[in-house]
């Protein structure tokens, strides 16, 4: 505020992110800045230093260029930098490089420290059914939540599938694990989640994760995956490199029941194949979004009796969670193909019209080119003649002036003539 007042800036709002890495720009605070820039309501962004804007050198540079295109400056208070000042560009570039290197170095050290903790057995957030006391680091069973886990295992052994269990839980109003994490730990969902995610509904993936999590038999398996916080790339770690700690916590499920569930899952996977390798992905997967709930559309194969197979896309919220959460939006792939084809034809027609307009202008220019070239040569000749005339004029003026000076210098002084 002091900096803004001293430099006569009017503060119209604040944008910040708590506990969010500056190595990516999918942040709520950055999204808020984008909105203000597009609405043309701000002229400058004041930050403590350039690292507060972002630490990824490439993405930060691109964001600064985006702001420049919209005539928005970034003012660094402690570094006395202004992105509108070309003299600061070199320093801003170096600052971006150092901020990037610092974040990567810290990430590397944190990852190495985390691996050491995982070797000894480390749990950051336990799964549904458990709670970790931050003061004592003791992991205890939350019986109310443990009953949900036991019911999932029992229902699966009774013949219910992943989707059926999720649908029953949603109908009964039982919240997903994310709700209980928020309730116990205050952990919020990411800002990039669709609106349907904040209803804390169950889906088949959430049910499957619980059924395959060996934590419920008291076994802690660490270092299952490697997640790069900078590139956001997650990779599975080979089993021989994982750290397994048996009898680490109080089990909720018996080993016999857990192993029986794993056998059933494997049998269903082998006997009821849902997809085959080598098949191409559906061409509009991930590109369509529900206008009501914001969920993506998923491809579904439909075939009735002797009719040909057709592909349709439906709202994922409706497909996963049922009609209570969204309506049955669906569209056939052939209809989308037709719309896309019409749009391509429209773009083609526009391109041809633009090309024809340009071609007409070129033809018109070619017809008049000789006239314009002749006119240009005539003007060049006239300009050259005028320069020569001006040069002779100034040369003559210089000679005349020097001649006058010589005459004045050589003439004898005037004599007085007496009258008497």
Cβ-based neighbours of 262, under 8 Å, separated by 6 or more: 212
- The token duo for 190 is 């990411």
With 0.75 as the threshold, say if the pTM is over it.
no
Are 91 and 153 within one domain? no
Task: Output the domain CATH number for residue 111.
Answer: 3.40.50.1390
Residue 219: inside a domain, yes or no?
Answer: yes
**Is residue 209 situated within a structural domain?**
yes
Give me the sign of the Cα torsion angle 156, 159, 162, 165.
Answer: negative
Calpha distance 212→162 (Å, rounded): 12
For residues 213 and 150, what is the distance between their CA atoms, to the nearest angstrom?
A: 13
Find all residues with CB under 8 Å of 318, minimum gap 6, and list them: 325, 326, 327, 328, 329
Q: Does 142 fall in a domain?
A: yes
Domain harbouring 128, CATH code: 3.90.1750.20
What is residue 415's predicted lDDT score, i.e. its pLDDT?
Answer: 53
Domain of residue 151 covers 122-271
SS3 314: strand
The verdict on residue 19 lying in a domain is yes
CB 19 within 8 A of CB 190: no
Q: Is 34 exposed, middle or buried (0-12, 13-18, 19+ CB in 10 A)?
A: middle
* Interatomic CA distance for residues 395 and 406, integer angstroms: 17
CA 160, CA 167: separation in Å to the nearest integer?
10
- The verdict on 230 and 130 lying in the same domain is yes
Question: Is the four-CA dihedral 319, 320, 323, 325 of positive or negative sign?
Answer: negative
Hunting for tokens 């429209």 — which residue is that?
346
Same domain, 86 and 185: no
Q: Are residues 31 and 11 in the same domain?
A: yes
CB 399 within 8 Å of CB 392: no
Q: Is residue 322 part of a domain?
A: no
Confidence (pLDDT) at 206: 92
Q: Say if residue 234 is in the same domain as residue 109.
A: no
* C-beta separation of 89 from 59 below 8 A: no
Total tally of structural domains belonging to the chain: 2
Q: Mean pLDDT for each 10-residue chunk of the chain (420 residues)?
A: 79 79 80 88 88 86 90 89 88 87 84 83 89 89 94 91 90 90 76 72 91 93 77 79 90 95 84 47 77 83 81 84 80 90 92 90 84 86 87 69 55 50
Residue 360 lies in a domain: no
pLDDT at 130: 93
**What's the token pair of residue 256?**
């016999």
Do 30 and 140 lie in one domain? The reply is no
- Are residues 24 and 93 located together in one domain of the fold? yes
> Looking at the structure, do residues 70 and 87 belong to the same domain, yes or no?
yes
Q: Give the H or E element holding residue 376.
A: helix 333-410
Are both 226 and 142 inside the same structural domain? yes
Picking from 271, 291, 306, the residue at the C-terminal end of a domain is 271
pLDDT at position 374 is 85
């Amino acid at each position: 505020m002091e900096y803004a007042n001293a430099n006569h800036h009017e503060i119209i709002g604040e944008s910040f992110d708590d506990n969010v890495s500056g190595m990516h720009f999918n942040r709520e605070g950055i999204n808020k800045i984008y909105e203000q820039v597009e609405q043309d309501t701000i002229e400058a962004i004041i930050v403590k230093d350039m690292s507060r804007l972002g630490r990824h050198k490439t993405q930060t540079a691109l964001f600064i260029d985006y702001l420049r295109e919209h005539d928005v400056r970034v003012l660094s208070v402690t570094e006395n930098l202004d992105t509108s000042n070309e003299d600061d560009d070199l320093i801003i570039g170096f600052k971006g490089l150092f901020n990037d290197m610092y974040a990567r170095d810290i990430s590397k050290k944190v990852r190495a420290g985390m691996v050491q903790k995982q070797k000894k057995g480390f749990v950051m957030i336990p799964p549904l059914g458990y709670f970790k006391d931050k003061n004592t680091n003791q992991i205890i069973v939350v019986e109310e939540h443990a009953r949900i886990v036991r019911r999932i295992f029992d229902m699966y052994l009774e013949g219910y599938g992943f989707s059926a269990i999720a649908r029953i839980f949603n109908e009964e109003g039982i919240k997903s694990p994310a709700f209980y994490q928020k309730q116990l730990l205050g952990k919020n969902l990411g800002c990039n989640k669709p609106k349907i995610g904040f209803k804390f509904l169950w889906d088949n993936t959430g049910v499957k994760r619980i059924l395959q999590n060996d934590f419920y038999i008291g076994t802690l398996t660490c270092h299952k995956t490697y997640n790069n916080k900078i590139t956001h790339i997650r990779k599975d770690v080979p089993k021989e490199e994982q750290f397994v700690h048996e009898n680490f916590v109080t089990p909720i499920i018996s080993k016999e029941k857990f192993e029986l569930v794993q056998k059933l899952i494997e049998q269903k996977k082998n006997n009821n194949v849902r997809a085959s390798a080598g098949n191409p992905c559906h061409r509009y997967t991930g590109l369509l979004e529900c206008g009501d709930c914001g969920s993506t559309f998923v491809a579904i194969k439909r075939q009735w009796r002797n009719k040909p197979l057709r592909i349709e896309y439906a709202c994922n919220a409706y497909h996963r969670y049922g009609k209570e959460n969204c309506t049955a939006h669906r569209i056939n792939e052939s209809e989308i193909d037709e719309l896309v084809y019409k749009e391509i034809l429209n773009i083609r027609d526009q391109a041809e019209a633009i090309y024809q307009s340009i071609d007409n202008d070129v033809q018109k220019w070619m017809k008049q080119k000789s006239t314009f070239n002749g006119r240009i040569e005539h003007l060049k000749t006239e300009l050259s003649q005028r320069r020569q005339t001006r040069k002779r004029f100034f040369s003559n003026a210089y000679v005349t002036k020097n001649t006058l000076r010589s005459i004045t210098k050589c003439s004898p002084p005037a004599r007085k003539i007496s009258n008497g």
